[in-house]
Amino acid sequence: MMMGKISQEKRMRNYFKIFEQIYHEPTMPIYDISENAHLSRNTVSTYLNDMYASGIVIGPQIRMAPAPNYREYIYLLNFKDPFHVFEGLKGFPHVMYNALTFGEWNTLIIAEKSLEFSVLKGFQSEIWRGEKGFVYTPPVTRISWEQSWREVKQRLGTIQLKRDEIEKKLPVLDWEEKEWKLYHAFKSNMRQPVKPILRNLGMRYGPFIQWKKSLSEHCGIHTEFYPQPVGTFTNHCLLFKSRYIGAVEELFSLFPTTPIFVEMGDSVLVYVKMTSDMTKKLIDMVYSMKDRGIAEDARYAVIFKEHGR
């Protein structure tokens, strides 16, 4: 039994080594990952297949950043029959993502245009709506929950609160049809084989290289890591109103699962995955954040189903 446990721990550490390489260089070839992680190419290839199949690694995904001529919008809403709304929003014009949730809101929507969902049948209330800002996925640096909770508790007592005053410059989005075609083809995973996709799009390699160079200016690239299959976790979603969004992000970045931060003006939406037995610790953490003045307000829901395009 002990040998099995050691073997599994070693495997997970090797998974983590591979993830680190992809996080910092999303399209790094297997040969280079092998060299940097000190693993054989066959091992890297086998482990990558396992990691993707079980959801231990997700991405690298591409997500649009806001621009003066491009915006996305987020809605946290309540409907009388949220399942009906969830199904109905699949394929709804301009809706890019929607989720069925349970908590202080039961519907989460991301749209590429400002829409009025209050006209839909069964609408009850609006918790939040507004422009979606930058999305941030910090690197996972720990694989132990015990270590993470210990560091969260320590950091809550010592964290320095600094006002978030830095405004990010928003370059104009100058993409044309070919760039959008490439974005939609590669947005779910940048590590897909390039040649078959370009052949299918009837596109040459040169435009692909130019588009790839433009990603750092117009997009965020997000690679998620989970120390066990993603389906074993509860997907928590928290809305914080805070003057110290950097401090909120710092605390959740201590976890061994990738948090997703969606910045929205003076608020931030945090997706964080953990096993259901940790819910009480998460709630205690949120209360401590409010007591310390890190968050002025916090609202909470659990995501049950998601649909994106």
Q: For the chain, first and last CA: distance in Å?
A: 44
Tell me the per-residue pLDDT of 259-291, one tens digit each, with 9 for 90 and over: 999 999 889 999 999 998 999 999 999 999 999
Instruction: Specify the CATH architecture of the domain 73-131.
Output: 2-Layer Sandwich (3.30)
Pairing mode, if any, of strands 123-131 and 234-241?
unpaired
Please answer whether residues 225 and 19 qualify as being in contact, where contact means their C-beta atoms are separated by less than 8 angstroms: yes
Position 47 confidence tier, pLDDT thresholds 50, 70, 90: very high
pLDDT value at residue 3: 39
Which residues, in sequence order, are CB contacts of 22 under 8 Å at separation 6+? Answer: 28, 33, 57, 60, 191, 223
CA dist., res. 210 & res. 230, Å (int): 34
CA dist., res. 235 & res. 253, Å (int): 16
Please answer whether residues 47 and 15 qualify as being in contact, where contact means their C-beta atoms are separated by less than 8 angstroms: yes
pLDDT value at residue 165: 65
Residue among 82, 137, 141 at smallest CA distance from 302 = 82
Please answer whether residues 61 and 221 qualify as being in contact, where contact means their C-beta atoms are separated by less than 8 angstroms: yes
pLDDT value at residue 1: 36
Three-class secondary structure of residue 75 per DSSP: strand
Tell me the per-residue pLDDT of 78-132, one tens digit each, with 9 for 90 and over: 999 999 999 999 989 999 999 999 999 999 999 999 999 999 999 999 999 999 9
DSSP for 137-156?
-PPP----HHHHHHHHHHHH
Three-class secondary structure of residue 216 per DSSP: helix
φ and ψ at 111, to 5 degrees? -130, 155
pLDDT value at residue 166: 63
Tell me the per-residue pLDDT of 181-237, one tens digit each, with 9 for 90 and over: 999 999 999 999 999 999 999 999 999 999 999 999 999 999 999 988 888 999 999
- Which residue reads 């590590």 in tokens? 191
* Percentage of residues of the chain with pLDDT beyond 90: 84
